[in-house]
Amino acid sequence: MQIINLNTLMFMNRGKGFYIAIIFLYSVLGVQAQESHHNIKLGVSAGYENCFGATKKPSQVREYESAYDDYFSCGFVGPDQTMGIFHASVQAEYFLLNNRIGLSSGLRFSQTSSSLKSDEKFFYWKFGEENVTTDYLRIQKITGQNYWLGIPLEFRFFPNRRDMWVQHYFKLGYSYNMLIGSHNSVSFENAEMNKYASDVAGQIAQPSSNYSYFYPAFGLKIGRFKNDKHRFPWINLEFHFPGVLFAENVSPFFKKNVNIGVGFQISVQIPLGTNVPIGHK
């Protein structure tokens, strides 16, 4: 079955000045790190979160089961919904309290994805109505993908008092994200109906302009601050649970405003300036 991708990217001007200010701030921070020898690491990260909630069915969805005519029978859209969040960030982390506490922020791009699908071959979608005539389409699956630009804020703590190659830590993270674009994919039960894909996409409610995500985490740091005159990069592996998603309408297929998630993240960091070990005096 052919799937039609509808590229309807909608770039927004809201918040541009705020993001420009953040970029400028971290440019200055990097210069200051080289001059003042602060313990700062610049890093890139990528992660994935999976959020769970109840399905919000658009008013166009029709579910019908006939004991007498299989032609009109269709499947049902399930009551449970999941949404995936892929995110990638560029962040700078500043260390204090003998390098056992890290504070970081930067810029984050994320993509959210959720879908409606039938537990059978298709479900009905009310396409249009005129006088006494109502038109329906047989749809296998609708997938909505939205793109966001955000600012993460993270706080992590190293329980161990000395620097080790492999070291565990705890983290509290939060990200605020603003919508920059979206597109929908529609898969029909009959490929001849693909010509209606853009019309169906136009009937799907638009997501909210922003969402927030809060995530406690447990992680492992691999690498050291410094060994004699050498500075080392870090690799961080972490598990997020329980993540909490706050949004009025981050997806047209999510019923609740607050949803629980679970995820992971991997990052690589390089030192700026002259770094000293965790637990230094």
What span, in angstroms and rounded, lies between the C-alpha atoms of 124 and 260?
30
Q: Is the per-residue pLDDT at 11 higher than 70? A: no
3-58+81-116+143-272 architecture in CATH?
A: Beta Barrel (2.40)
Q: What is the pLDDT of residues 231-242, one digit of tens each?
A: 778 999 999 999
Structure confidence at residue 162 (pLDDT)? 84
Q: Which two tokens stand for residue 226?
A: 């410094």
Instruction: Enumerate the domain spans of the chain.
Output: 3-58+81-116+143-272
Exposed e or buried b per residue across 32-47, where buried means at least 16 C-beta atoms within 10 angstroms of its C-beta: ebeeeebbbbbbebeb
Contacts of 34 (CB under 8 A, 6+ apart): 272, 273
pTM: 0.79
Express each pLDDT in 30-68 by its tens digit: 554 444 446 788 999 999 999 988 888 888 887 665 444
pLDDT digits (tens, 9 = 90+) for 62-113: 766 544 445 455 666 777 888 999 999 999 999 888 888 999 999 999 999 9
Lookup: tokens for 274: 């002259």
